[in-house]
Amino acid sequence: MNYRRSGRIDPEELKKASIDRASLRRVWRFLSPYKLLLGLYLLAIIASTAIAAVPPLLVRNLIDTAIPYAQSHHSLGQINVLAAALVGFALASTAVSLVNRWFASRIGEGLIFDLRTALFDHVQRMPIAFFTRTQTGSLMSRLTSDVLDAQNAVGTVASVLSDIFTLVTTLSVMWYLNWQITALSLLVLPGFLVLDRLLSKRITALSRRRMKLNAEMSTTMNERFNVSGALLVKLFGRPDHEQREFARRAAAVRDTGIQSALLGRILYAALAMVGAVGTAAVYWLGARYVVNGTLTIGVVVAMAGYVTRLYQPLTDLASTRVDVLTAMVSFDRVFEVLDAPRIIEDKPGAVALPDPLQGRIDVENVTFRYPAAADVSIASLEAEGSKLSPDPSAQVLRGLSFVAEPGTMTALVGPSGAGKTTLSALLSRLYDVTTGSISIDGHDVRDVTLASLTEAIGVVSQDAHLFHDSIGANLRYARPEATDEELHQACQRARIHDVIAALPEGYDTIVGERGYRLSGGEKQRLAIARVLLKDPAIVILDEATAHLDSETELLIQQALGVALAGRTSVVIAHRLSTIVAADQILVINDGRIVERGRHDQLIGEGGLYSELYETQYARGIAPSPSPGRASPAGGSVADAVVALP
């Protein structure tokens, strides 16, 4: 009996839940690949129920026929046959139960696989705006807990079918043997239902609280055990406080576990007692019929055996509605994510960018507002009580236009919040322009495939992200088929090969979470090597030398000189000394291009750029070599590098 239902579904959500045909049709679409297995599973359930109904009848024949015959004829033949039959049916029941388990596991685990892969594929293709708003923990819950609860629908339906078949066969045989005893055995059913309602609700509430406490404890561990969290705890000297808080949460989990286990045992014991009363009633009435000569002893024993099979399915069916609704709510929560719109995707008829690509960028009269929360997010994945606004943001970009010629560098400068990062995101099509257009080699980025656009653009961000994997695996994320020699060449050009070669495990060295085992400069050079391995026509660069020491900055500038050579680059510059040799500098303020030109020209105009440059110079920020004005091969650098939002 399922008295430990999932505590992950809010009871209020269950009260509002219903089973509608549309949801059932969607569930069936996920189950339809398993139609044959479902049919065989149903047959196996029927077979299991039929096999389980036979042994009490064999016991009746053994007592009423075989034993008296053996006494009168001094022959054990019938006893041996019936005993062998009992063993055979036990073996058959075991075999069928294993078959049932295989079918249930194959269908259930297959459903989990299908739901998880569908969710993962859909989520990873969601726009970046979705991830800027969504709580990662809530999203992970959909991929884990809700998928598992949805999978329980298979077990619930199978259990219902098994319970129904068991009831039908058991009551039919019992009624055939003696309807009076059958009616008496049903009189204790209200006792089962009352106990189930009284105690199972309490157990469910405790289970729900335990799940919540476990989730809070897991969240605490996730936050404290990642590198940033562990560093914060150590720097602020709070390990004792953290230990006490964790112990408090762990103690609450312990206490609810004890209470839940005790209540579960009380419930099982109480149900067993009620079942014993029902069995005693069968023997009591059956014994009277035996004394009166109405029934045989074998029939009474068989009836007692059937009674033990009668109560469990009756109580299970009484709680089926909650189990089915729980599974349906989980399906609905999964479907809610699958139904979330992907506003950035290939349009019908999208074409690939030409190969080879020159790398000319045309930005024409671009305006942009960040999309409305209601268009990119799901309220239940945000903070509790969140309401998604149907309105887009205020205007961020206002009529931007410029051209970045192939092989040139375009620098984006301006105060914080001016719109530089937003423009870079539009170039990579992390967002779509509100009006206007962005074209690469004459092709609007909205008309080309995302795969070809991603292949054409490489990004080096200020905070280079590395996965918790080896250096080689992180590099091959750009090009999985790259050879070791190609990896070494890219790292040599990025001025990082010697550092990697000096490590004990070389390119097999694990970089740690977010690359924390490497210095900032090493991470940046690995990111540059990754872009070199990708070999894009356009590079988007968020100032990669900020907050680095002079020696490391020089190495990265040299690496960037190689990375940008011959490519169109767009560079967001925080340190203006790094872009003095850019082919064009665009000064952005309040979403508009307020100045444009080369460094010397803009300095001479005495405008915002000159003011920003003089402010930095006054603070003692020395000029740095501009990345890529001349590569080691002697070529000029590409047009523009843009930061990720």
CB neighbour list of residue 544: distance below 8 Å, 6 or more residues apart: 460, 461, 462, 464, 524, 527, 528, 556, 560
Does 472 have pLDDT greater than 50?
yes
Given pLDDT bands bounded at 50, 70 and 90, which one contains residue 9? low
Look at residue 471 in the predicted model and tell me its pLDDT.
92
Does 600 have pLDDT greater than 60?
yes
Does 7 have pLDDT greater than 50?
no
Look at residue 586 in the predicted model and tell me its pLDDT.
95
DSSP string, 44-109: HHHHHHHHHHSHHHHHHHIIIIIHHHHHHH---HHHHHHHHHHHHHHHHHHHHHHHHHHHHHHHHH
Look at residue 353 in the predicted model and tell me its pLDDT.
93
Question: What do you get for the CA distance between the two ends of the chain, in Å?
Answer: 52
CB neighbour list of residue 24: distance below 8 Å, 6 or more residues apart: none
- Report the C-alpha gap between 406 and 394 in whole angstroms: 33
Identify the weakest region by mean pLDDT among 168-172, 517-521, 535-539, 581-585: 517-521
What's the whole-number mean pLDDT along residues 52-78? 89
- Report the C-alpha gap between 572 and 592 in whole angstroms: 15
Q: Which one is predicted more confidently, 632 or 428?
A: 428
Provide the 10 A C-beta neighbour count for residue 206: 22
Look at residue 545 in the predicted model and tell me its pLDDT.
60
Residue with token string 């055939």: 176
**Which is it for strands 443-444 and 592-597: parallel, antiparallel or unpaired?**
unpaired
- Report the C-alpha gap between 144 and 151 in whole angstroms: 11
Q: Which one is predicted more confidently, 222 or 524?
A: 524
Q: How confident is the model over 613-634, as pLDDT tens digits? A: 888 765 554 444 445 443 333 3
What CATH number was assigned to the domain covering residues 361-380+398-467+536-618? 3.40.50.300
What's the whole-number mean pLDDT along residues 330-336? 83
What's the whole-number mean pLDDT along residues 514-518? 79
Look at residue 319 in the predicted model and tell me its pLDDT.
64
**Phi, then psi, of 284 in degrees rounded to 5:** -65, -50
Q: How confident is the model over 91-132, as pLDDT tens digits? A: 999 999 999 989 988 988 888 889 888 989 998 888 888 888
Give the CA diameter of the chain. 126
**Phi, then psi, of 366 in degrees rounded to 5:** -85, 130
Given pLDDT bands bounded at 50, 70 and 90, which one contains residue 256? confident
DSSP string, 243-264: HHHHHHHHHHHHHHHHHHHHHH
Given pLDDT bands bounded at 50, 70 and 90, which one contains residue 442? very high
Identify the weakest region by mean pLDDT among 77-81, 386-390, 472-476: 386-390
What's the whole-number mean pLDDT along residues 211-232? 71
Q: In what order do the strands lie in the sheet with 409-413?
A: 457-460, 538-542, 568-572, 409-413, 584-589, 592-597
* Element holding 344 (H helix, E strand): none
**Which is it for strands 361-369 and 395-404: parallel, antiparallel or unpaired?**
antiparallel
Q: What percent of the chain stands above pLDDT 90?
A: 27
Q: For the chain, give the mean pLDDT.
A: 82
Look at residue 630 in the predicted model and tell me its pLDDT.
37
Look at residue 183 in the predicted model and tell me its pLDDT.
86
**Phi, then psi, of 417 in degrees rounded to 5:** 85, 10
Q: Which two tokens stand for residue 492?
A: 């040599």
Look at residue 628 in the predicted model and tell me its pLDDT.
46
Given pLDDT bands bounded at 50, 70 and 90, which one contains residue 189? confident
- Report the C-alpha gap between 577 and 597 in whole angstroms: 15
State pTM to two decimals.
0.74
CB 413 within 8 A of CB 588: yes
CA atoms within 13 A on the CB side of 589: 9
Look at residue 434 in the predicted model and tell me its pLDDT.
95
Nearest Cα residue to 274 out of 203, 175, 190, 163: 190
Given pLDDT bands bounded at 50, 70 and 90, which one contains residue 239? confident
* Domain-wise residue ranges, the chain: 12-338, 361-380+398-467+536-618
| Cis before 356 (ω within 30) | yes
The superfamily CATH assigns to domain 12-338 is: ABC transporter type 1, transmembrane domain (1.20.1560.10)
Look at residue 383 in the predicted model and tell me its pLDDT.
66
Any idea what DSSP says for residue 549?
Answer: -
- Report the C-alpha gap between 502 and 547 in whole angstroms: 25
Does 642 have pLDDT greater than 60?
no
Look at residue 27 in the predicted model and tell me its pLDDT.
83
Q: Which two tokens stand for residue 212?
A: 């919540």
Given pLDDT bands bounded at 50, 70 and 90, which one contains residue 643? very low
Max mean pLDDT range (10-19, 243-252, 272-281, 352-361): 352-361
What's the whole-number mean pLDDT along residues 497-506? 91
Max mean pLDDT range (14-18, 121-125, 320-324): 121-125
CB 43 within 8 A of CB 280: no
Q: How confident is the model over 334-379, as pLDDT tens digits? A: 888 888 888 899 999 999 999 889 999 999 999 999 998 888 888 8
Q: Which two tokens stand for residue 113?
A: 């696989």
CB 337 within 8 A of CB 123: yes
CB 52 within 8 A of CB 93: yes
CB 564 within 8 A of CB 531: no
What's the whole-number mean pLDDT along residues 322-332? 74
Does 638 have pLDDT greater than 60?
no
Identify the weakest region by mean pLDDT among 103-117, 195-209, 321-335: 195-209
Within this chain, domains 12-338 and 361-380+398-467+536-618 share the same CATH topology: no
Look at residue 631 in the predicted model and tell me its pLDDT.
35
What's the whole-number mean pLDDT along residues 388-398? 90
Q: Which two tokens stand for residue 562?
A: 């190689």
Nearest Cα residue to 539 out of 369, 352, 370, 357: 357
Q: Which two tokens stand for residue 420?
A: 């530089």
> What is the four-CA torsion angle of 271, 276, 279, 281, rounded to 10 degrees?
-100
What's the whole-number mean pLDDT along residues 185-195? 74
